[in-house]
């Protein structure tokens, strides 16, 4: 078998549909682009339809198949409408990527409980509901794959991002619970825990002291580039390449966590 055929058989996603929630964001778009390049139809789903449409145009420019959908992950009705939209456009849902997330930085004693709730509503409860809505559909097909985006803070306490870190710890736990519950039903669920990939939402949290600490703690001494998440995402999502991987929390972090575990 030719090398290209071998790799396509393992990692190719032709004819499959991936829904990426948070797909208009920096990491979500990099993942959308990678999945489209691997052959999937990508439903770019995010809060702002116009932002999704711009992302879809970018994917179509490079020959990708994609469509845009507005979603608010904190609304069950909105998630159900997203599933209906994906089914209307492509007739199937093979993969779900949960990449919506929000963050805020405060000293612990100043953490506003309402802000805590807001962060949990998006990062964890919304993710859980998205998994419920899409797994119900995947069970009908007897197959499906979910990728949840955690963080190095899923495992480690970083300063001033308490609600975020606690919610991301929950992401890994949720991922493992889903993997356990649906492992014998054809549905796999994995997480990627990215290190530091400065996007708009965390640039405002990065003062010089924090940057110095991050670089000291990152053996590769640099930030990640969003496209460096793509290969891991395809490995975990692909029914062929990732066929025996479920419940994994895969660190893509320039080595940040390697000295801790
Ligand atoms: N950038 C990093 O360094 C980094 C590191 C670790 C984990 N992460 C995680 O990766 C994911 C993507 O982050 P990013 O850095 O690309 O940030 P980003 O802000 O560019 O993307 C987040 C996306 O989530 C969307 N979103 C927010 N609330 C939503 C809601 N209620 N419903 C639907 N969509 C909503 C936003 O509109 C945005 O497009 C997040 O879960 C984040 O926590 C990021």
In this prediction, residue 210 carries a pLDDT of: 83
In this prediction, residue 168 carries a pLDDT of: 98
In this prediction, residue 159 carries a pLDDT of: 79
Can you give the C-alpha Rg of the chain in angstroms? 18
Q: How far is 2 from 116, CA to CA, in rounded Å?
A: 52
Within-domain flag for 86: yes
The yes-or-no verdict on residue 63 having pLDDT over 70 is: yes
Distance 51 CA to ligand 1 centre (A): 14
Going from the C-alpha of 181 to that of each of 66, 136, 163, 168, the distances in angstroms are 31, 13, 27, 20
Q: pTM higher than 0.75, yes or no?
A: yes
Mutate to test the pocket of ligand 1, among 99, 170, 198, 204 (most ligand atoms within 8 A of CB): 99
CATH number of the domain at 152, please.
3.40.50.720
Within-domain flag for 25: yes
C-alpha closest to that of 243 among 11, 16, 8: 11
Tokens 């895969």, residue?
250
Atom 8, ligand 1: residue with shortest CA distance: 151
- Model confidence at 259, in pLDDT bands (50, 70, 90)? confident
Within-domain flag for 261: no
Q: Report CA dihedral (8, 11, 14, 16) to the nearest 10 degrees.
A: 160
Which parts of the chain fold into alpha helices (H)?
A: 3-11, 26-37, 49-61, 76-90, 113-120, 127-141, 162-182, 200-203, 208-217, 230-237
Indicate the number of domains in the chain: 1
The yes-or-no verdict on residue 253 having pLDDT over 80 is: yes
In this prediction, residue 190 carries a pLDDT of: 99
The yes-or-no verdict on residue 183 having pLDDT over 80 is: yes
- Model confidence at 121, in pLDDT bands (50, 70, 90)? very high
Q: Which residues are catalytic?
A: 164
Nearest atom of ligand 1 to the alpha carbon of 30: 16
Distance 154 CA to ligand 1 centre (A): 15
Distance 4 CA to ligand 1 centre (A): 33
In this prediction, residue 209 carries a pLDDT of: 85
Residues 193-216, mean pLDDT to the nearest whole number: 84
pLDDT over 70, % of the chain = 99
The yes-or-no verdict on residue 68 having pLDDT over 90 is: yes
In this prediction, residue 201 carries a pLDDT of: 66
Residues 12-36, mean pLDDT to the nearest whole number: 98
Nearest atom of ligand 1 to the alpha carbon of 168: 43
Query: Domain range spanning residue 100?
Result: 13-252
Residues 86-93, mean pLDDT to the nearest whole number: 98
Within-domain flag for 91: yes
In this prediction, residue 106 carries a pLDDT of: 87
Structure tokens at 169: 């710890």
Within-domain flag for 2: no
Residues with CB under 6 A from ligand 1: 21-22, 24-28, 46-47, 71-74, 99-102, 122, 126, 149, 151, 194, 196-202
The yes-or-no verdict on residue 261 having pLDDT over 80 is: no
pLDDT over 90, % of the chain = 89
- Model confidence at 102, in pLDDT bands (50, 70, 90)? very high
Q: What is the mean pLDDT of the chain?
A: 96
The yes-or-no verdict on residue 202 having pLDDT over 80 is: no
The yes-or-no verdict on residue 176 having pLDDT over 90 is: yes
Atom 43, ligand 1: residue with shortest CA distance: 101
Within-domain flag for 54: yes
Span 158-172, pLDDT tens digits: 878 999 999 999 999
Residues 118-143, mean pLDDT to the nearest whole number: 98
Within-domain flag for 215: yes
Within-domain flag for 155: yes
In this prediction, residue 45 carries a pLDDT of: 99
């Amino acid at each position: 078998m030719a090398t290209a055929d071998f790799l396509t058989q393992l990692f190719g996603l032709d004819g499959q549909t991936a829904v990426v929630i948070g797909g208009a964001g920096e990491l979500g778009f990099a993942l959308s682009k990678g999945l489209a390049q691997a052959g999937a139809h990508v439903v770019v789903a995010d809060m702002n339809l116009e932002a999704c449409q711009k992302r879809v145009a970018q994917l179509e420019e490079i020959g990708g198949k994609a469509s845009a959908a507005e979603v608010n992950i904190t609304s069950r009705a909105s998630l159900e409408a997203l599933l209906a939209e994906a089914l209307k456009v492509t007739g199937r849902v093979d993969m779900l990527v949960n990449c919506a997330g929000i963050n805020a930085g405060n000293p612990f004693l100043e953490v506003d409980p309402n802000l805590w709730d807001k962060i949990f509503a998006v990062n964890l409860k919304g993710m859980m509901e998205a998994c419920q809505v899409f797994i119900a559909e995947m069970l009908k097909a007897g197959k499906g794959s979910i990728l949840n985006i955690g963080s190095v803070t899923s495992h480690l306490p970083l300063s001033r991002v308490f609600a975020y870190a606690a919610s991301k710890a929950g992401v890994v736990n949720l991922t493992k619970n889903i993997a356990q519950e649906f492992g014998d039903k054809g549905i796999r669920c994995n997480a990627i825990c990215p290190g530091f990939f400065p996007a708009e939402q965390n640039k405002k949290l990065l003062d010089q002291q924090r940057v110095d600490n991050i670089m000291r703690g990152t053996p590769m001494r640099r930030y990640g580039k969003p496209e460096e998440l793509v290969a891991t995402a395809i490995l975990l999502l692909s029914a062929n390449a990732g066929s025996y991987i479920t419940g994994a929390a895969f660190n893509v972090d320039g080595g940040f966590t390697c000295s801790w575990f």
